[in-house]
Copies of this chain bind each other. A is one copy, B any other.
Amino acid sequence: MKVIPTVSQFSNAVRSAARPLGLVPTMGFLHAGHMSLVDRARADNATLAASIFVNPAQFGPKEDFATYPRDMESDLAKLEDAGVDLVFTPSLEEMYPEEFDTYVEVSHLTERLEGEARPGHFRGVATVVCKLLAIAWPDRAYFGQKDAQQCLVVKKLNADLNLRAEIVVVPTVREADGLALSSRNSYLDSEERKAATVLYRALSLAQDLGTSNATEIRERIRALIEAEPLAEIDYVSVADAETLDELDEVSGPALVSLAVRIGGTRLIDNVTLEFA
């Protein structure tokens, strides 16, 4: 496995690599969710590339960029074990030199949910993904369904800017009690960890209710989460799974998504819902 910290060396390496090439972009602190992307990409491609870069552009000024968990040594060991060929580990300066001044903006899709709660977040995501797709020029790039809105934004910019990667969305990996894996779960103490199961319990309820009335689904989810003293709802959404427009009635595929604060930690999760 080659670990490459510069844009120019990584670009050269991918350009002489066997094709197809799959890219798994990550912010590191890898867990089984990331590794499911890696395993899927390993199976699909002749060359497997990953990137580890905590992207400051997608964090708000009051968010956790400085404290976001990092463990490069452990990450590299996991990637090597999983058969990764090339790892891109750029410095901040390498990705955003002092005179950096160009941003990729996706409209509409980014105006709700995470975009509304975290102004500038998707501008940062879209910009770094555009850069990573240009640098790694992958045939396929892999993203986790846990960040459902991010997956839609990445598909949009990839199509609109003609970057020609196939964007592969991989199912969310969960703990035995349903909690979606997230690097931010490491912020939770044991009491918060128990309370955090409320997200998946709420999403499961939405799937079990058997109603297509989106207002009722949102209300029942809210009631369930509000019964958990450590949880504070940021949003509860039942939206069209493609456009993210909020629904009155679930007819086509819908995305049920949540952002909930457990103590000081903001967690997100989602499931899709469809009535045949």
Q: Report A's interface with B, CB cutoff 8 A.
A: 7, 11, 100-109, 126-127, 130-131, 134-135, 156-157, 160-164
Contacts and interface: CB of A to CB of B under 8 A. Distances in A.
A131 B100 CA distance: 19
Contact of A160 (B11, B102, B162, B163): B102
Copies of this protein in the complex: 2
A51 to B, nearest CB: 12
A164 B103 contact: no
B102 A104 contact: yes
B103 A105 contact: yes
Contacts of A102: 104-107, 126, 156-157, 160-161
Contacts of A160: 100-102, 131
Contact of A134 (B100, B107, B134, B156): B134
Nearest to A107: B101
A10 to B, nearest CB: 10
